[in-house]
């Protein structure tokens, strides 16, 4: 098991991760954190669990057609993570970015173990990854998280509800039991991985004030400022360099 | 009279934790893996074995690399783009392997089939080792794999492999030449270096995983004879 953070390993960048149950509000919090860091002129990059372009097609096929077993569920998410880690996170961290991750290896440690994969195996697979410099765990009452999800998206997906575990034939009941077990796993890891435990039952703004304060205290943000202005979005980007005068007297204009 | 062969079903085991909920003792069939580079005669030998076994009344099933329902198409596409880093490559192939293990190999063994694997975890591990992946990491990863009843590595010297591959397709495969490793800008040189490293990795793996190295520099018929003899012993070990 990797036990060092990116800072420990001498990377110029820093990685901040958020973890928590579906419906704990972690994605809202990391989004607001990102907005703030951008406004402060910090070099920031956001990466979401299960979002590698390379692997996503296979994962969604596997989920839709219910092809996944605990083992392949675990491996395909590890593949997704490895792709983002090697192609995006590592180079950005070498280049001095603040990288924000919506879910990190702890999601796998919790979910895969609940699905029946041996903890040592799962942790062994992810041991190529360094630990985050800061991990926020959004701890909401189980009922609060469940209600948020069930209010917003009454149709639950098969794997999201842990239906593959056959905890209950009722999808809502299965979801409750599955989330409850994941919460237990998270809480058991909390001390080992120095989670900053946030009270996710509080109002969003109040939590965000605390998130920003903790980030500021733990990361010397001044070191991560961009030099020069932000690049323009592609639609308004001007040609990279001005062409030298056309000595042959052809018409001006072509870029 | 009942003899206990070194690989009888009573010693059937996973290398590590295996697949949750699967009892190895229920897997009555036989699992035979044939390893070797492209041009080692692997596919020819497997086709021969299938003929021979089925003619003899034994049902067979074949598996191989990049043949899973779950990820084979996506893996193929990703390799085409040359954008896979080594950990991703290792895990992608492991996913492909696990999908076939659970959906083809284990059910076929339960039903008493002979499963012929056109390459198994050893090729995958050797490739990853050559790319600098940690052997302990690989050992943990492939703890999910079932130990085969027989593993045969068809060993061919790299210069002979070059001849066979060129005779067949007039070029050398990008991945089989390890071009992603930057060993040489020259395909020919890179192929020789890469295949040499693969052989060394197999020798290294042989220390911890039990498999037989078969000299496949010899004519096809000689290799077939060897394989049949060894597999007959293995099947009669029941």
To the nearest whole angstrom, how far is the Cα of A134 from the nearest Cα of chain B?
Answer: 24
Residue A139 confidence (pLDDT) above 90: yes
Please list every residue in chain B whose beta carbon sits closer than 8 Å to the beta carbon of residue A83.
84-85, 88
Torsions phi, psi for B11 (to 5 deg)? -100, 10
Bridge partners for A18 per DSSP: A102, A136
The domain spans of chain A are: 14-230
Residue B24 resides in a domain: yes
Question: What pLDDT was estimated at residue A253?
Answer: 36
Q: Do residues A63 and B65 lie in contact, with contact meaning Cβ atoms separated by under 8 Å? A: no
Q: Domain of B88: which CATH number?
A: 3.40.50.300
Any CB–CB contact under 8 A between B132 and chain A? no
Of A90-99, A140-149, B56-65, which gets the smallest average pLDDT?
A140-149
| Number of domains forming the structure of chain B | 1
Residue B225 has a CB neighbour count (10 Å cut-off) of: 12
Cβ contact (<8 Å) for B70 and A58?
A: yes
Answer yes or no: is B18 within a domain: yes
pLDDT confidence band for A229 (50 / 70 / 90) = low
Overall average pLDDT of the A170-198 stretch = 95
More confident residue, A129 or A232: A129
Q: Residue B139: inside a domain, yes or no?
A: yes
Token code pair at residue B149: 């009843």
pLDDT at A238: 52
- How far is residue A26 CA from its own chain's centroid? 10
Q: Is B70 on the interface with A (CB under 8 A)?
A: yes
Give the predicted TM-score (pTM) of the model: 0.87
**Whole-angstrom Cα distance, residue B194 to residue B94?**
21
- Give the pLDDT score at A155: 81
The shortest C-alpha distance from A171 to chain B (Å) reads: 23
In contact, A50 and A59? CB cutoff 8 Å: yes
Sign of the C-alpha dihedral computed for residues B202, B204, B209 and B212 taken in this order: positive
* β-bridge partners, A45: A99
Distances (CA, A) of A190 to A17, A19, A136, B170, B198: 13, 10, 10, 58, 42
* Residue B30 lies inside a defined structural domain of this protein: yes
Average pLDDT across each block of 10 residues of chain B; the chain has 238 residues. List them in order: 44 93 94 96 96 96 92 85 84 96 96 97 97 96 97 96 94 92 94 96 92 95 97 86
Residues of chain A neighbouring B71 (CB-CB closer than 8 A): 58, 62, 76
- Beta bridge mates, A196: A136
Do residue B71 and residue A58 have CB atoms under 8 angstroms apart?
yes
Long-range contacts for B164-169 (Cβ within 8 Å, ≥24 apart)? B164/B39, B165/B38, B165/B39, B165/B191, B168/B39
Which residues does chain B have within 8 Å of residue A55's beta carbon, measured at their own beta carbons?
Answer: 74, 78, 88, 92
What b/e sequence results for B115-146 when a residue is b if at least 16 CB atoms lie within 10 Å of its CB, and e otherwise? bbbbbbbbbbbbbbbbbebeeebbbbbbbbbb
Could A120 and B140 be called an inter-chain contact, meaning their C-beta atoms sit closer than 8 Å? yes
Of A57, A69, A127, the CB nearest to B102: A69
What pLDDT does B7 receive? Answer: 46
Q: Quick one: pLDDT at residue A157?
A: 85
The C-alpha atoms of residue A151 and residue A11 are separated, in whole angstroms, by 42
Contact A87 B95 (CB under 8 A): no
Structural domain boundaries, residue B89: 13-156+212-228
For residue A227, is pLDDT > 70? yes
Cβ separation of B70 and A125 shorter than 8 Å? no
Does the domain formed by A14-230 have CATH 3.40.50.300?
yes
Beta bridge partners of A199: A139
Q: What is the pLDDT of residues A28-73, one digit of tens each?
A: 999 999 999 999 999 999 999 999 888 888 888 888 888 899 999 9
In a domain, B130, yes or no: yes
Choose among A196, A85, A74, A47: nearest CA to A135. Answer: A196
Question: What's the gap between Cα B112 and its chain centre?
Answer: 21
Residue A6 has pLDDT above 90, yes or no: yes
Q: Is the pLDDT of residue A255 over 50?
A: no
Q: Of the candidates A83, A84, A85, A68, which has an alpha carbon nearest to the alpha carbon of residue A131? A: A85
Radius of gyration in angstroms for the set of CA atoms belonging to chain A, rounded to a whole number: 21
Is position B58 within any domain?
yes
């Amino acid at each position: 098991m990797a036990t060092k953070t990116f800072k420990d390993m001498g990377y110029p960048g820093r990685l901040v991760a958020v973890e928590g149950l579906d419906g704990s509000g972690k994605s809202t919090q990391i989004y607001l954190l990102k907005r703030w860091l951008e406004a402060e002129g910090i070099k920031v990059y956001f990466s979401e669990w299960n979002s590698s372009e390379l692997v996503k097609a296979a994962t969604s096929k596997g989920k839709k057609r219910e092809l996944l077993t605990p083992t392949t569920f675990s491996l395909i998410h590890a593949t997704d993570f490895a792709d983002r880690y090697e192609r995006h996170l590592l180079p950005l961290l070498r280049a001095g970015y603040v990288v924000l991750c919506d879910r990190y290896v702890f999601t796998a440690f919790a979910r895969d173990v609940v699905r029946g994969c041996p903890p040592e195996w799962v942790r062994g697979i992810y041991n190529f990854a360094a630990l985050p410099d800061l991990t926020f765990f959004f701890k909401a009452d189980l009922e609060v998280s469940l209600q948020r999800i069930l209010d917003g998206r009454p149709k639950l997906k098969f794997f999201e509800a842990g239906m593959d575990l056959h905890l209950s034939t009722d999808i809502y009941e299965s979801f409750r039991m599955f989330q409850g077990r994941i919460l237990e796993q998270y809480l058991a890891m909390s001390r080992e991985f120095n989670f900053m435990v946030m009270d996710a039952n509080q109002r969003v703004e109040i939590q965000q004030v605390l998130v920003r304060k903790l980030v500021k205290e733990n990361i010397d943000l001044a070191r991560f400022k961009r030099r020069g202005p932000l690049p323009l979005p592609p639609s308004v980007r001007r040609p990279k360099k001005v062409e030298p005068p056309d000595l042959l007297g052809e018409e001006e204009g072509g870029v | 009279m009942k003899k206990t062969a070194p690989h009888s079903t009573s010693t059937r085991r996973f290398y590590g934790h295996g697949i949750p909920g699967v009892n190895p003792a229920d897997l009555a069939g036989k699992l035979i893996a044939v390893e070797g580079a492209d041009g080692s005669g692997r596919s020819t030998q497997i086709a021969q074995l299938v003929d021979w076994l089925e003619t003899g009344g034994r049902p067979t099933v074949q598996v191989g690399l990049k043949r899973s329902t779950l990820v084979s198409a996506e893996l193929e596409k990703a390799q085409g783009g040359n954008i896979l880093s080594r950990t991703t490559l290792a895990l992608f192939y492991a996913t492909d392997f696990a999908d076939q293990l659970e959906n083809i190999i284990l059910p076929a063994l339960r039903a008493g089939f002979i499963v012929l694997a056109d390459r198994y975890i050893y090729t995958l591990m050797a490739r990853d080792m050559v790319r600098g992946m940690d052997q302990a990491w690989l050992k943990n990863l492939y703890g999910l794999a079932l130990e085969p009843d027989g593993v045969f590595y068809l060993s061919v010297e790299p210069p002979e492999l070059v001849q066979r591959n060129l005779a067949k397709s007039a070029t050398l495969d990008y991945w089989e030449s390890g071009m992603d490793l930057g060993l040489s800008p020259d395909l020919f040189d890179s192929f020789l270096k890469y295949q040499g490293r693969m052989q060394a990795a197999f020798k290294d793996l042989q220390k911890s995983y039990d498999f037989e190295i078969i000299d496949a520099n010899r004519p096809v018929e000689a290799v077939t004879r060897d394989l049949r003899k060894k597999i007959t012993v293995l099947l009669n070990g029941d």
